[in-house]
Amino acid sequence: MPIAIDAMGGDFAPRVPILGAIKAVNENGLHVILVGDEKKIQQELSSCKFNHKKVDIVHAEQIVEMDESIVQALKNKKQSSMRIAYNLHKQKDVSGVVSAGHSGAMLAIGKFVLKTIHGIDRPCISALLPSIKGKVLLLDSGANMDCSPYHLLQFAILGDVYTQHILSVPNPKIGLLNIGTESGKGNELAKQTYSLLKKSTSLNFQGNIEGKEFFLGNFDVVLTDGFPGNIFLKSVQGAANFVSDILKEEIKKSWLAKIGALFMIPAIKNLKKKIDYSEYGGAPLLGLRGVGVVCHGNSNPAAIQFGLNFANWAAKANIVPRVEEKISSNQELLDSLKCE
């Protein structure tokens, strides 16, 4: 079954989503449906070479803008490329939806059209990040504010199933983002969530993890409320930019350093590749009754291609019944919180 790509989403739409989709068609054999302004899409496609059987277009009149309120997007953009892509998914014409557009709207429209998996109250946005050892899934990375331990237990279940069945990590190690590693550390949410997760017999909860240890890769899934989760994500970005800006400035000051930097170009390229957004910028939406993947607004075609492949793996992984099964094995714990 094809994957739908929101051709109008992202900072460089429709060009980059289309180029990314064509890469996924040509290099990975995917079948895609480009959803958006048909005329503009045709125009972009005219300069591309691809198997025409593997690319379809579905026209959409409207676009969800990046700064649009989610309520407005839900109410007034029923003909948007994002909404129509989800409708195709609902009708089983595609097996997943990918967009580099408004991530909050992607989640909200996805929730509205597809609904959530039975037992999941709040679907969430995760972020797949690099580490010394491999990949780490952070969730929630910014969609859900003021979560309760009840929600974090649901995130743990989602993270566990996705990591196991899409990223093929057996028995994923789950950690709780906190200000210290000892039990009893953190705010009320962290303390209560820690005690709760310790009680689960079907989740491999390993305890607290501090931000400074995130990239060591000792955990496969890191849980957090969306507020600190998003602060984490953006701080890391800010710190990396800061170090690189200062280093560039220092290199500019000395011709010796300039020569040194020239020698180091391949090493720096490898570094960039290892922490590249194109492989790690994809943010699967977890908890929907279907497959939604958000790419960063300033994604390049490779990032879109990765998002499409990711959606394709997710569609094949048969996630919904697996999550439902895990929910029922934690039902007693979840019910104990509902009663409070």
Residue ranges that bind a copy of itself, judged by CB under 8 A: 67, 131-132, 142, 145-146, 177, 179, 182, 186-188, 190, 210-215, 224-228, 230-247, 250-251, 253-254, 256-257, 259-264, 266-268, 270-271, 274-275
Exposure of 4 in the CB half-sphere (CA atoms within 13 A): 31
Smallest distance from the beta carbon of 275 to a copy of itself, in angstroms? 7
Q: Which is nearer to a copy of itself, 188 or 335 (CB)?
A: 188
Is 112:331 a contact under the CB 8 Å cutoff?
no
Nearest distance in Å: CB 31, a copy of itself:
36
Nearer to a copy of itself (CB atom), residue 1 or residue 246? 246
CA distance 280 to 306: 8
* Shortest Cβ 327–a copy of itself spacing (Å): 26
As given in the structure block, the two tokens for residue 18 are: 């289309």
Q: Least separation, in Å, of the C-beta of 184 and a copy of itself?
A: 9
**Angle of CA points 285, 82, 280, to nearest 5°:** 40
Residue given tokens 């960063």 in the structure block: 296
Of 265 and 339, the one with the shorter C-beta distance to a copy of itself is 265
Least CB distance from residue 230 to a copy of itself, whole Å? 4
Closest to a copy of itself by CB, 48 vs 251, is 251
| Residue from 213, 207, 69 nearest 136 by CA | 213
Q: How far is the CB of 136 from a copy of itself (least distance, A)?
A: 11
User: 250 vs 332, which CB is nearer to a copy of itself?
Assistant: 250
Of residues 30, 2, 24, the one with CA closest to residue 93: 2
Strand partners, 283: 294
In contact, 85 and 303? CB cutoff 8 Å: no
Nearer to a copy of itself, 245 or 325 (CB): 245
Q: How far is 25 from 9, CA to CA, in rounded Å?
A: 19
